[in-house]
A and B are shown apart, each in its own frame.
Chain A
């Protein structure tokens, strides 16, 4: 499993910007976060991805200082901040639900932290102007925040945190409340802003697409534990567990038992790399399957019936059923005027044996 990948951004000293050691969180007997270590390199855009209740928000609150960990140590830029409150930490947070101050204008919201930090007025004005430019809100600076749309409020929340120039910017599901189009637009914004200002972002989300789209690195969490850490490609292409495979992207699953270098499933046996006699699951991404004649001699091939064809614009979702009844999902890209596959036809499906990810059943 790829661990401790480098994105080439780590600071010259080699010390990570954020370092959690043996951090755990127990609320009244319930473990929200099991003891874990987590490093965040300077300049990273790290996403913490997981279903609700997996401990990802708690982890973020521990970094921000809103939650006292039950055990462990939190270091930011080499300084132990475990016992330091959020007001004194070099982090700033974009909250889920934003937490904008409703009695203030956009500008006053953004100026709030600078005022407390006693930033000289001239510098504060310049920084506010810059950040308003960055989030494209200059025209709305003197509006009351409750007159803004959801997307605009989101930008104010972002600007309010960025203007403080935190060593780490923490984002707690900031896009969850936005509708799909706006969410996609804001993802682009976030990518642009991270490119433009650099800095280290830690982003919590339950949306795997968002995590894949934004991050230089992803930490997948489940039930208070880190399931896997890696680049988006690593997480998607080499999921370390059934949970990760299921949570990130769509997948076909063929379970079976290993015998002499092959996995024996209900659909047939395919070459696979795992210990003899092990109960395993082969994960196959829908886009790894080709419909039509076998192209390479060593490809795996099965015969199946097309059951359903769903047109998705630039792609088609095809559901097939193998002779033994196993459902197989495909994603095909089609040309602009290309013919769609026909439901009810018998076809050959093939894929590279190497594209199957074999994971022990128990993981």
Chain B
């Protein structure tokens, strides 16, 4: 096929070439979402769904699950922030301090993604449990007498395991952004009197805003939507919203409420992402003169 053939085909041909992408987008993303939006306004009678247009389901989300939703968003926010801070310093060290070991460190980061998600959860179970490495170690050292109970089956355990799993998803986009930060801009800032924190705050972070936002979005959305980690490690105090959505869909067979919950989580997550992205975007603003 030569260039002339393409241009002669004109608009029709171009639309035709777009078709697979449009089909995937519509069929796999838009349709299910639209379906969820529609049935979130339906009603459930015994084990059947009745088409309707009522807000009962959303009311139930607020009344029954409002606190869980807020808790889930807070937990995901904490997890994403830990990942962002930790991931930034790791990526920063890889970019500017590790020299020729930098590439190896990134490869190792990628390798941890092959470890599998459930494996990591079980690993944390054996590390944090009352018979786990941490507790037996601390007892052996004589620092504590009885196992620390809040280490497992608690929000702490969920945050630790999620942060561990999500860290690579933050490191990679942040590192990619950092590669575009020229070292001479850092030297110039130091030359003008900036200490290490000022260099990071005023010179490095503003230049990697897209990477920070991408990393945060990955970590936050995956954490907010997760229901396996809290199931295994959260106990009763660390239950997350996703677990209740799963129950509504499976055990209770209440799809309308499940759909309303899913959409509520989606919208509230987007709101958090929007606010945090805006805050990260404001990093650009330096003290004006």
Contacts and interface: CB of A to CB of B under 8 A. Distances in A.
Interface stretch (B22-30, B155-163, B192-200): B192-200
Contacts of A102: 185, 207
A323 B274 CA distance: 84
B192 A113 contact: yes
B276 to A, nearest CB: 19
B203 interface: yes
B103 interface: no
A97 B190 CA distance: 16
B288 A111 contact: yes
Interface in A145-181: 157, 160-161, 164
Q: Is the interface of B mostly helix, strand, loop or mixed?
A: helix
A125 B288 CA distance: 10
A99 B187 contact: yes
A95 interface: yes
A218 interface: no
A102 B208 CA distance: 11
Interface string A108-129: 1001111111000100110010
B11 interface: no
B147 interface: no
A206 interface: no
B188 A116 contact: no
Contact of B193 (A87, A103, A125, A128): A87
A92 interface: yes
B287 interface: yes
Given A102-B207, A116-B193, A116-B194, A97 B286 contact: no
A99 B188 contact: yes
Interface string B81-93: 0000000000000
Given A125-B289, A164-B192, A66 B198 contact: no
A246 to B, nearest CB: 32
Contacts of B192: 87, 92, 112-113, 116, 160-161, 164
Contacts, number: 81
A243 interface: no
B44 interface: no
Contacts of A116: 192-194, 198
A112 B286 contact: yes
Given A87-B190, A125-B289, A99 B195 contact: no
B184 A112 contact: no
B206 interface: yes
Interface in A77-110: 85-88, 91-93, 95-104, 107-108
Nearest to B283: A103
Contacts of B187: 66, 86, 93, 95, 99
Interface in B238-288: 284, 286-288
Nearest to B198: A116
A295 B185 CA distance: 60
A18 interface: no
A128 B182 contact: no
A109 to B, nearest CB: 9
Interface string A8-50: 0000000000000000000000000000000000000000000
Nearest to B287: A115
Contacts of B207: 101-103
Contact of A103 (B184, B284, B289): B284
B62 to A, nearest CB: 41
Given A99-B188, A108-B286, A112-B286, A87 B182 contact: no
Interface string A172-200: 00000000000000000000000000000
A87 B289 contact: no
Contacts of A87: 190-195
Contacts of B194: 87, 112, 116
Interface residues of A, number: 36
B202 interface: yes
Contacts of B203: 101
A85 B287 contact: no
A258 interface: no
B204 to A, nearest CB: 10
Contacts of A111: 288-289
A320 interface: no
A97 B191 contact: no
B191 A64 contact: yes
Contacts of A164: 192-193
Contacts of B287: 115
Nearest to A103: B206
A108 B288 contact: yes
Contacts of A113: 192-193
B190 A104 contact: no
B189 interface: yes
A93 B286 contact: no
Contacts of A101: 185, 188-189, 203, 207
A355 to B, nearest CB: 45
20 contacts: A86-B191, A87-B192, A92-B192, A95-B187, A95-B191, A97-B184, A99-B182, A99-B184, A100-B185, A102-B185, A107-B289, A112-B192, A112-B194, A113-B192, A115-B287, A125-B289, A128-B289, A160-B188, A160-B192, A164-B192
Interface of B: 182, 184-185, 187-195, 198, 202-203, 206-207, 284, 286-289
